[in-house]
Structure 1
């Protein structure tokens, strides 16, 4: 059976990319070599000017780089684009996360009567730890981790922090401009998710819920729609929160 899951991730910038930027970034990562603007435009069905603008935004954020192609005849050779590799330290951390999650999935499947529910609970604990780390780092920097000192901060301030954490974990979150939903364009755990999607996806949902609860927004309702028709996973938040789409 075909599994339309997001592909395995490399580390990405902490801010979410737009859906179109994510599609271009994914195309570059799957390409065997450097790619030109016209080639990318033809591959994704966008105008060359639109593609060029998105590529320059990705270059500015350090996700890709551009280089001159070989000169043939008169005029300057065209720019060609390639993805930037991940840092060794971040790659190691992501590999550790993947290994831990795979072991957890196997263990839950072996001993739990309800692996999916237990996976969500495990993820919630993980998410609360991430929220605690975020609060501690913000406190040391003299910042309010959600921009407010309120006991229950506004969801509009907490949700971007959650999305940033997902980016740091390698999910490359983007924003669907039509719905405002967060689309997970890449998944560092996709290989582990294929044999046990109910466990791996449950952990991811639990992480999001745990971070929300740890940052004081536990009353929000969030659901994960895994492996949607476009080959991504989606986070649906109730009440919905609009995130700006970059690019």
Structure 2
């Protein structure tokens, strides 16, 4: 389960659901079973009634921890109602406060290694890949909104919306400037600021290019405890 996803609060809800001992017990039983599990089996695993088990299992489904469907037990169809079975969903739940996006950074570095050109250094490959990833994200947002020309205000508004989902915690400092209050790549940025901040800058620069927002630019402006990049009105549009 991705923390930056369409519903960033869902991982928290999933973990909160597991605070209940009965739900946690059934979830662990179903995960370890590695097969579809019926309500009766789940109920027996924690020693409760089938009706109460159904209530808790549906809560686990609602938060995305389990999937459910109707399926004949053992693949054999019998007379009567087909039972509901549950399986552990293929999710990876992580909660970081403030939000982190180490998967994004890892993906950029992995793609850079796999696509590094003959005459390209590892650093250049990483920056190129970061910009390409950012461009894809910006282009997807551009396709979604299908706007006319993006001025400073509209471009920054769309940037705030998208980058908030990636944990940047954008904050409008003025009509033409957005600071990013959180570095999604921390603490790795602290270990290698030149490389990681460069990747971050390339990613955000590519995002603005994909968004087709020439009125806004991303520049390196390190500030303690924040992202090293800020978005602001481009010089030619000042």
TM tier, shorter chain?
A: 0.3 to 0.5
Higher relative contact order (CA 8 A, sep 6+): 1
When normalised by structure 2's length, the TM-score is 0.46
When normalised by structure 1's length, the TM-score is 0.45
